[in-house]
Amino acid sequence: MTRDDTSTPRSIDNYLAQLRRALDGADPAMIQDALSDAETHLRAECADRSGESEESVLATIISSYGSPTDVADAYRQTEKTVQAALATQYIRPAASSATPNILRRFFSVYGDARAWMSLFFMLLSLVTGVFYFTFAVTGLTLSLGLAILIIGLPFLAGFIGIARVLALVEGRLVETVTGERMPRRARPSEAGSLLTRIGTMLRDRRSWTTLAYQLLMLPLGVLYFSTAITLTAFGAGLVEWGVGAVLQSLGLDLLPGTVSLGTPESTSWLALPAIATGVVILTTLLHLARKVAQIHGKLAKTLLVAA
């Protein structure tokens, strides 16, 4: 480390800079949480002791809160414990060495809770996509329209602030579905005047990537929802028709809407392949949903997490 890395921080910004360097190489979401916790705690302590200089307050706080290196080590250790606990929350049967057979691995996805959550996420994404897109377009439009008025800047600050809160909520949903580590705490508000805070928000790359994510969620939501509904309807339809055909061949007309293809004999011969094809399609959909959720988790982390 350089001398600046090991010296006692003289300001909150200096402390945060040292903490960021000490966390270099760690998960970006964990770094964001650590910086948020540290900044919130340090600014609250300095505000409570406003009669003292920031440097003297920091010197006292460090003795109890810890140096940037100590805090970084504590966060790394805590993160290992948390990730180990999360890894055992959802166990994928497909990864079990006790099921080496390819068919068992293929169909074991039905026992994977994360696959079902991923499918639910694909269906839900249309609703969230419409909401995020509407919010982003409306907010950007009103911000531009009100820019010439005195309420323009406060509205812009509030709009970006709400967008960041929504990004935090979306991150928690993505982490629950995919297991991708996302921030658990929002960045604290910048100190200074309204103009200073707005300037900081506008210069922050994450403000714009967050809005880009919200705009992108509409086409992605349509794609996810359409894929999930189409494959579910096609696979379930084949299974339903096949079951109905088998029942008809046994003299049981429990599914009267079943369409006959040629003679009853030819229809019954096609029933089992139809059922098998439908089951394969539905099973493939679960595998696809899990993969889509994993890719989406990487995209969300790229756009919603501070660099």
pLDDT along the chain (307 residues), means of 10: 57 85 87 86 80 78 82 86 64 49 88 93 96 96 88 86 91 90 74 70 86 96 97 92 74 55 57 89 96 95 83
| Residues 6+ away with beta carbon under 8 Å from 205 | 307
* Long-range own/partner contacts, residues 70-75 (CB < 8 A, 24 or more apart): 71/19, 71/22, 71/34, 71/38, 72/19, 72/22, 72/23, 72/26, 72/34, 73/22, 75/23, 75/26, 75/30, 75/33, 75/34
What is the structure's pLDDT at 180? 86
Q: Which two tokens stand for residue 193?
A: 């005047």
CA-to-CA dists, residue 137 to 66, 133, 205, angstroms: 44, 6, 18
What is the structure's pLDDT at 157? 83
Residues making up the chain, counted from first to last = 307
Is the C-alpha dihedral spanning 245, 251, 256, 261 positive or negative? positive
Q: Indicate the pTM of the whole model.
A: 0.79
Contact (CB, 8 A) for 245 and 270:
yes
What is the structure's pLDDT at 212? 95
Contact (CB, 8 A) for 27 and 35:
no
pLDDT tens for 221-234 read 999 999 999 999 99
Average pLDDT over the chain, rounded to whole?
82
What is the structure's pLDDT at 1? 40
Closest residue by Cα to residue 39 from 7, 68, 5, 8: 68
Q: What is the DSSP string of 176-192?
A: HHH-----SSPPPPPSS
What is the structure's pLDDT at 39? 85
